[in-house]
Amino acid sequence: MHAYLARRVVQALVVLVLVSLGGFAVLHQAPGGPVAIYAMSPTMSAEDMERLTRQLGLDRPLHVQYAKWARGLVTANWGRSYRDGRVVLEVIVDRIPATLVLMLSAFTVAVLLGLATGVVSAVRQYSLFDHAMTLGAMVALSIPTFWLGLMGIYVFAELLHVLPPGNIGTIGAPFALADRLRHLLLPAATLGVVMVATWSRYTRASMLEVIGEDYIRTARAKGVSRGAIILKHALKNALIPLVTLAGLQLPLVFSGALVTETVFTWPGMGRLFVDSIGYRDYPVLMGILMLTATLVVVGNLAADLVYAAIDPRVRHA
């Protein structure tokens, strides 16, 4: 177990270094560079541009810039935003709670709904319900999230006037939980749709595999009730491989959150990323890229380790 743990951690570290190198290289090789946005300004002279380039350290060789940046990354000094001079870490941390609330609420609903529909699909394999879920899941995986959000706004805000079209809360109003929940409902549902489909499919597949096992037949032969077999014997074991799904899904969920936040003007990390691209705000962009990639790597590592811990069969795989 220790050897397995050590190997997985080393692998994750190598991946993280590659991630930082790749992201840094791409953003810094890009044409224009961070000072390009000032080139348009009539008040900036050529000397000003040069001074700015020197001041930001952009005239030094890439590997020097990377080394400086990487050192800062480890010591929690992520530099300052090119846009407004604020500390990058602060800019990003400010946006994390909104993204976290959105992702967690979508995730919770998706797992519960996905497990329920997946189990029913497996138990009633090839029934009308199962076929409908298969079709529904494929469509859900194919709908562009931003369009789903737009349609949600159209129906519930524009036509029915029952939900707000965007924002995290009513502007100018004091904090109220009910108001926040009303604003959360549409974005969370939009982000949750893709996740429900994946969870439902994986649960179905995993359940079907377990239901075919000998110990299920034994339980049935002993006269255990159908409900007890499905919930206590089958589902409990079918859940084990699903642990890794939570980790595997993270990149997709982050992407979905970025789009959802943009559609619903939700003040999260994804929208910050889109805004920062417009300003060529490299430090903020790199910060968010590194943070999301790190979370994905750590999430996958954690999921694999939990999987190995609860299922002794995979420990030495």
Rounded distance, CA 128 to CA 237, Å? Answer: 26
Closest by Cα among 186, 187, 191, 189 to 162: 186
Q: Using the rule CB under 8 A, is 296 a contact of other proteins?
A: yes
Q: Using the rule CB under 8 A, is 134 a contact of other proteins?
A: yes
3-class DSSP state for residue 316?
coil
Of the pair 156, 224, the CB lying nearest other proteins is at: 156
Residue 178: CB minimum distance to other proteins, A: 25
Of the pair 31, 85, the CB lying nearest other proteins is at: 31
Footprint (CB under 8 A) of other proteins, residues 262-281: 262-263, 273-274, 277-278, 280
Interacting span for other proteins (CB under 8 A) from 82-90, 93-101, 148-156, 235-243: 148-156
Rounded distance, CA 237 to CA 112, Å? Answer: 17
Rounded distance, CA 108 to CA 54, Å? Answer: 48
Q: Using the rule CB under 8 A, is 255 a contact of other proteins?
A: yes
Binding-site member from 89, 115, 120, 297 for other proteins (CB under 8 A): 297
Rounded distance, CA 151 to CA 165, Å? Answer: 11
Q: Using the rule CB under 8 A, is 143 a contact of other proteins?
A: yes
Q: Is the Cβ–Cβ distance between 169 and 180 less than 8 Å?
A: yes
Q: Using the rule CB under 8 A, is 303 a contact of other proteins?
A: no
Residues with Cβ < 8 Å from 285, sequence gap 6 or more? 27, 273, 276, 277
Alpha-helical runs (H) found in the chain: 2-29, 36-39, 46-55, 62-74, 88-123, 128-142, 145-152, 177-211, 214-221, 226-228, 236-248, 250-263, 269-278, 282-310
Interacting span for other proteins (CB under 8 A) from 71-79, 131-139, 224-232, 303-311: 131-139
Interacting span for other proteins (CB under 8 A) from 53-61, 168-176, 235-243, 292-300: 292-300
Sign of the torsion formed by the C-alpha atoms of 144, 145, 150 and 151: positive
Footprint (CB under 8 A) of other proteins, residues 4-63: 11, 14-16, 18-19, 22-23, 26-27, 30-32
Residue 68: CB minimum distance to other proteins, A: 20
The contacts found for 63-67 with CB under 8 angstroms, 24 or more apart, are: 65/28, 66/21, 66/24, 66/25
Residue 250: CB minimum distance to other proteins, A: 8
Q: Is the Cβ–Cβ distance between 114 and 314 less than 8 Å?
A: no
Of the pair 104, 277, the CB lying nearest other proteins is at: 277
Tokens of 269: 């990390």
Q: Using the rule CB under 8 A, is 195 a contact of other proteins?
A: no
Residue 165: CB minimum distance to other proteins, A: 9
Residue 177: CB minimum distance to other proteins, A: 28
Binding-site member from 123, 193, 196, 288 for other proteins (CB under 8 A): 288
Footprint (CB under 8 A) of other proteins, residues 169-188: none
CB atoms within 10 A of CB 146: 16
Rounded distance, CA 92 to CA 73, Å? Answer: 13
Which residues lie near other proteins (CB under 8 A)? 11, 14-16, 18-19, 22-23, 26-27, 30-32, 126, 131, 134-135, 138-139, 141-147, 150-151, 153-154, 158, 250-252, 254-255, 258-259, 262-263, 273-274, 277-278, 280, 285, 288-289, 292-293, 296-297, 300
